[in-house]
A = this chain, B = another copy of it.
Amino acid sequence: MIDSVSAPQLVCSPRLRRTPFSRRVEAAGVKAYTVYNHMLLPSVFRSVEEDYAHLKSAVQIWDVSCERQIEIAGPDAAKLVQMSTPRDLTRMQDDQCYYIPNVDAAGRLLNDPVLVKLSDDRYWVSIADSDMLFYYRGLATAAALDVSVFEPDVSPLAIQGPSADKLIERVFGEDIVNTRFFRHQRIRVADVDMLIARSGWSLQGGFEIYLDGSKHGESLWDTLFEAGEDLDVRAGCPNSIERIEGGLLSFGSDMTNEHTPYEAGLGKYCQLDAASACLGCDALSSMSAPVRQIRAVEIDGGKPPALTEFWPLHDRSDSIVGRVSSAAYSPDLNKNIAIAMVDRAHWDEGTSLYTRLPDGSRRDVSVRRSFWV
């Protein structure tokens, strides 16, 4: 049994793609997967709680190949990317990574990728779970842009945890460790091209290695594990407890195509004047005062069950005023932490609400001012 998750069995087929690291992930004892961008994403190794404690104390290697890259290359590359996001890209440097909410013409979220700039006419969009490739192809074709839009054979592998710097220094050298946050360097090691960024979907610090060429996956994996043996390096994966503590949102759960960046708490990435080439800017200009927004909330009582569908949030008169989209018990905080979308009249710090779990039981909920770490 998998602790703290509700897990039916998953029937696999080539439609759910394996990764350059899947054989190593399975040898490392992966207990469960989720599916992300039509690809297998490891979700549990020992248990969610054990994986959590280890992530916060040592170093883990995460197969996040499912963060697929969309390569956008050509004279109109910057124009096409800017059409999809309200974040101003005009000052972006060639070694920078930007978190960019993608929006449609109605200002609603389509994805929340990390944009990796390679040069003025070449970008990688490192996507969350939706086929953004299709949106970019649609725009590029109908607008007759001079650009190529394709998925390169590039697979990210994340190194996360307090010992991540040590491990990276041993394998790639001090110069790579000095990479600043959300900056990247490109290196070639033993004839293999890699881009290494200081980034990753945890708050523990670390790097993402964008491996160029699936066939090199297993040797890269083995190199990292050999170099990190005395650091207690383990196979890991994005951890629901750790990412809720830090307020890292999951597209498709915490925010969906129903929501605007403002509702998702991403207003600081909306620079509507500068980013006027964004096709969603007209719509967004009237939406900066949202009627609902992401909030950190705490749930009373014992450890909650796995959240596999939205839990409704009610006010004291039983009206539905939001929904819980992620929840977990945090061993370090010794409380139940959660992410919710809450209506404006009920989102102030300290507001008391309640939710109903799928078994019908009622739990008190209180709204916080911010995430926990």
A positions within 8 Å CB-CB of B: 2, 5-18, 30-36, 38, 43-44, 83, 104-105, 110, 129-132, 134-143, 240, 250-253, 279, 306-310, 325-326
Contact = CB atoms under 8 A, between A and B. Distances in A.
Contacts of A35: 10, 16, 34-35
Chain B CB within 10 Å, residue with most, of A13, A30, A135, A308: A13
Contacts of A135: 134-135, 137-138
A305 to B, nearest CB: 11
A67 to B, nearest CB: 14
Copies in the complex: 2
Given A138-B135, A142-B142, A142-B143, A7 B15 contact: no
A310 B11 contact: no
Given A104-B137, A137-B105, A14 B131 contact: no
8 residue pairs, one from A and one from B, having the closest CB atoms: A138-B138, A15-B252, A142-B142, A10-B10, A131-B131, A9-B32, A35-B35, A7-B9
A9 B38 contact: no
22 contacts: A2-B9, A5-B11, A7-B11, A8-B9, A8-B30, A8-B33, A10-B34, A11-B32, A11-B33, A11-B43, A13-B252, A13-B307, A13-B326, A14-B308, A14-B309, A110-B134, A131-B131, A134-B134, A138-B138, A141-B279, A142-B142, A142-B143
